[in-house]
Amino acid sequence: MGQVVSDGVATRAKRAKKAPIVLRDAQAIKALTHPARLAVLDDLFAGRELTATEAARIAGVTPSAMSYHLRELEKAGIVERVENAGDGRERPWRASGARLQVEAENSPVGSAATALLAQEFVNRIGRDLAAWSARRLDEPDKRWRDVGGAAVSTLWLTVDEAEEIMNTLQDLADRARGRTADKRPEGSRRVRVASILVPRGEV
């Protein structure tokens, strides 16, 4: 990725101007649900540009399998190829927009696709949480040890209060969105932040 990195400032500026990718089509949403695709999207939407070979190492699949997954994501408009650097090296991939936003069509097919994606996200968060719980006591920094974890509350909220909670969490996350490894604050770590608000059946 040498040539891409040398143009990093221009590339990041171009990415910053991109709009969110809004997925409404059920097939496009289903394209996200494969674990290998979600694994590499973490890095791509964090600002990295990856070749299929580099993405394959992250996802734990073969380069040929990763090439297939990236092409499927490209068809859905989620990733794109970086312009050819002209040096004969493998062209990397990048995210097509600033972030992903899922707004499924109001249909049984759309609802099923969104439910499938939501379940995969929950599975990934569960794996991350279990791994953190297993190593938490070995964490040398007490502040990280105390802040990591999950907080779950069941509350009676109005719709206005629910919107306020989700918007506040989104605003806080947006402050750090788009940071790349070379521009991160000193002492920062990659952190998975999940905003989940589930209206229960009681009214």
pLDDT in tens, the chain (203 residues): 332 333 333 344 444 457 888 888 888 888 888 989 998 998 898 888 999 999 999 999 999 999 999 999 999 999 999 986 556 678 899 999 888 888 887 888 888 888 988 888 899 899 999 999 999 999 999 999 999 998 889 999 999 999 999 999 989 888 887 777 778 899 999 898 888 899 987 66
As beta bridge partners, residue 95 has: 79
Question: What pLDDT does residue 121 have?
Answer: 85
Question: Cα torsion for 169, 172, 178, 183, to the nearest 10°?
Answer: -140
Question: What pLDDT does residue 17 have?
Answer: 56
Please give the residue range of the domain that contains residue 43.
2-102
Q: Is 156 within a domain?
A: no
Place of tokens 């990725």: 1
Question: What pLDDT does residue 12 have?
Answer: 43
Q: Is 141 within a domain?
A: no
Q: Is 169 within a domain?
A: no
**How far is 78 from 27, CA to CA, in rounded Å?**
12
Question: What pLDDT does residue 181 have?
Answer: 74
The phi, psi pair for 21, rounded to 5°, reads -90, 115
Asked if 166 and 155 count as a contact pair (C-beta separation under 8 A), the reply is: no
CB-side neighbour CA atoms (13 Å) of 62: 3
CATH (domain of 14) = 1.10.10.10
- What tokens were used for 196? 């989940």
Q: Is 108 within a domain?
A: no
Q: Is 175 within a domain?
A: no
**How far is 8 from 182, CA to CA, in rounded Å?**
10
Q: Is 111 within a domain?
A: no
Tens digit of pLDDT for each residue in 34-87? Answer: 989 998 998 898 888 999 999 999 999 999 999 999 999 999 999 999 986 556
Q: Is 10 within a domain?
A: yes
**How far is 27 from 33, CA to CA, in rounded Å?**
10
Overall domain count for the chain: 1
Q: Is 116 within a domain?
A: no
